Structure 1
C-alpha cells in the first residue's frame, strides 16, 4: 500500500470516528494527524466528499443508515468497510421486503405474472406488481428489467420507474433505473409510450430514451438491436455514460462496493463493452482506459481515484 493509500485508509477511520462522536481524548491526535501533512487534509476532504456522495445517491436511506452506522461504530468499532456495507445492506434489504420479485447480486430471474406476461430481472433488481380491474401496474424498485407483455386491450400494462410511466403498446422492452435518479427505456419490439414530467413520447422498435425524475423524456434515439438489454447476454454496453452509472451496473453483478473519492471522477464519461460475468476484469479495463487508480481496502470495498 502506497503512502497515498495509507492516508486515505486513515482518513476513513478518522471520519467515521468523528461522525460517531467517538474521538474523545483522541481529538488532539486527530488534529495532529491533519496538521502533520497536507496530504492528510486532502485525503480527509476526499473521504468526506465520498461519503456525502454515497448518501446523496440514496437519500431515502440516509437517516436510518447513518444512525445505525453511528451506533455500531460507537459500540463495536466496526471497520470502514463493514460500516459502508451495513449502510447499503439496510436499503437493499428494504427493497427486498417491498418487492414481489427480486434478484440478488449476480443473479438473473424470469417471472411469469398472473396475466401471462414475462419479466426478466437483472442482478440486484426488484419489482412490485399491482394488477387491478382496469390496469396492470409494475413498479421497478431497483436495477433493470426486461418485459414481454401479454396483450390485453382492456387493461393497459404500465411500468412505473423514477416518477415516470412506460405504457406497453403490445411490446417487449427494457427499463433501467440510473444513478442520477432517472430511467432509461429501450424497445425491442413494437413501441411504448413514455410519460414523464408532464410530457409524453412514443418510443418505437429499436429506439431508446432517457428521462430524469420530474423531467420530460428526451427525444427517442436509435439503438442497435444487440445493445438493447445486453445484460441478458452477459454484456454491459456503455455509450458515453457517466462512470458512476457503469459502476452501479457492474455492482449488481459483484458482491462489494466501488466508490469514487471525487465526484468529478464518477462524472467522467465512459464507452465500451464490458463483461458482467467478470466485473473485476471489467473494472480493471475501465481503470486502464480512464487512467484511474484503485485502492482495495478489502475485497468488498474499492475506492477509485485519479
Structure 2
C-alpha cells in the first residue's frame, strides 16, 4: 500500500536524523529491531540512505549514474545494503565536516526527496473520488455507463447527486467516453474551464496552468471559468486550450493520434521540448529538472514512450545535444551537452 510505503519512508527518515545527530548508546539495537520488523523498513532505509549520500556528496553515488549523452539504464546503480548488527560498531552515515545545522538539513533533504515520490498533494487527493499513481493509467466506469481513462498522477471528483453528471478534474488528464443522456448534460470542470457534452469521446488535460481539450467524436462546448468570457464549440478532430490571462488557442488534430497517452505514448507536433517534458512528468515518480532554457525552447516532433520516462527523455533531448543524468531514483537532470 502507498500509505504503508509513505509511513516506512517517514520512519526511515526519522532514524536517519537520529543517527546523524545522536550519541544514544542504545540507538544501534533499537534501530536494528525496527529494521528487522518489516521488509519494507529495509527497503525504505536503503532509499533514505542512498538519497542522503547523494545529497551529501552533491554527485551521484557511483560514476555509472553519469553517462555521456544518455541516461544510465534503470536499475544499473545499486544501493548500499542496510547495516547489520555488529557488536561495538558505530554508524558513520554523516559527513564528519558537516556542522550540526548542516546535518539536520541533510537529513531533512533526504527525507523530503524520498517522500516526494510517494506523497501526492494531500488536499487534492483528499478531495478526489478516484486517483492514479505516477505512471499508471486507470480504466473507470461511472454510474451512468460513462467510461473514463484516468491518466498518470491524476485525480477526479464525481458529483452525480440530484440528477447531475459533473466531474471535476483536480489534477492530470482524463479521457471520457460519455453515455448519451440528453436530459442530463455531462460536464467536466478544471480550475479554469468547463466542458459540456451530450455524448462524445474527448480528452481533458491540465498542465502548466492551462486546460487542453481534444475531441475524437461528437461535440462539446468549452467555456472559460469563472467568467465564461471565452466560449467555443469543438467537433471531432478539433482542440482548444484555455489558460489564465492568455487568449484561447485552437486548431485541428489528427483523430487517430488522440488519446495515445492511454497506451503510454505522447505525440509532439512542433511543441517545445520543455512542454513535452511537462507531459512526461506524470509518468515519473520524482522530479525532472531542465537546466538549459535554450534546450527547453527547441521545437520537437515525434512520438515518445512516456511509460518509460527515462528512455523517452533521452530520445527527446539527445538529437538536440542534450545530456541526461539520473542523480537519485527520484531525480533526472537534463543539461546541454
> TM-score normalised to the size of structure 1?
0.68
Alignment counterpart, residue 208 of structure 1, candidates 230, 239, 258: 239
In the alignment of these two chains, the number of paired residues is 233
1:97 aligns with 2:126: yes
Give distance in 2, aligned partners of 1:136 and 1:182.
23
Take 1:268 and 1:278, find their aligned partners in 2: how far apart are those partners?
A: 22
Change (3 A) 1:85 1:170: same
Alignment-derived partner of residue 39 in structure 2: none
Query: What is the aligned counterpart of 2:299 among 251, 269, 276?
Result: 269
Give the corresponding residue for 1:297: 327
**Distance in 2, Cα, partners of 1:214 & 1:169:** 29
Q: Could you tell me whether the CA contact under 8 Å between 2:325 and 2:333 is conserved in 1?
A: yes
Match of 2:203 among 158, 162, 174: 174
The reply on whether 1:188 has 2:216 as its aligned counterpart is yes
Q: Secondary structure at the match of 1:78?
A: helix
1:188 partner SS: strand
Q: CA deviation at 1:82?
A: 4.8
Larger Rg: 2
TM-superposed deviation, 1:199: 1.7
Cα gap change, 1:287/1:107 in structure 2, threshold over 3 Å: closer, same or farther?
A: same
Tell me which protein shows more helix as a share of its residues.
Answer: 1
TM-score of the superposed pair, with normalisation by structure 2: 0.63
Q: Is the Cα contact below 8 Å between 1:195 and 1:217 reproduced in 2? A: no
Distance 1:123 1:176 in 2: 11
| Cα distance in structure 1, aligned partners of 2:216 and 2:133 | 25
3-state SS in 2 of match to 1:133 = helix
Between the aligned partners of 1:282 and 1:191, the Cα distance in structure 2 is 33
Unaligned runs of 5+ in 1: 1-71
Shift of 1:127: 0.5
- Contact kept in structure 1, 2:215 and 2:236, CA below 8 Å: yes
- The match for 2:27 is none
Q: Secondary structure at the match of 1:186?
A: strand
Structure 2: how far apart are the matches of 1:137 and 1:74? 49
Equivalent position SS for 1:248? helix
Within the alignment, does 1:248 sit opposite 2:278 as a pair?
A: yes
Q: Cα RMSD over matched residues?
A: 2.5
Aligned to 1:53: none
Match of 2:151 in 1: 122
How is 1:56-205 mapped onto 2 (pairs within 5 angstroms)? 75=104, 77-78=106-107, 80=109, 82-84=111-113, 86=115, 90-179=119-208, 181-196=209-224, 198-205=229-236
Q: Contact 2:295–2:320 (CA<8 Å) still a contact in 1?
A: no
The residue matched to 1:155 in structure 2 has which SS?
coil
1:218 aligns with 2:216: no
CA contact (8 A) 1:175 1:186 kept: yes
Paired residues for 1:272-287 under 5 Å: 272-287=302-317
The 2-side partners of 1:214 and 1:156 are apart by 28
Higher relative CO (Cα under 8 Å, sequence separation at least 6) belongs to 2
Structure 2 residue corresponding to 1:288, chosen from 293, 318, 322: 318
Deviates more, 1:117-126 or 1:88-97: 88-97
- Would the alpha carbon gap of residues 242 and 178 (structure 1) be closer, same or farther in structure 2, given more than 3 Å must change? farther
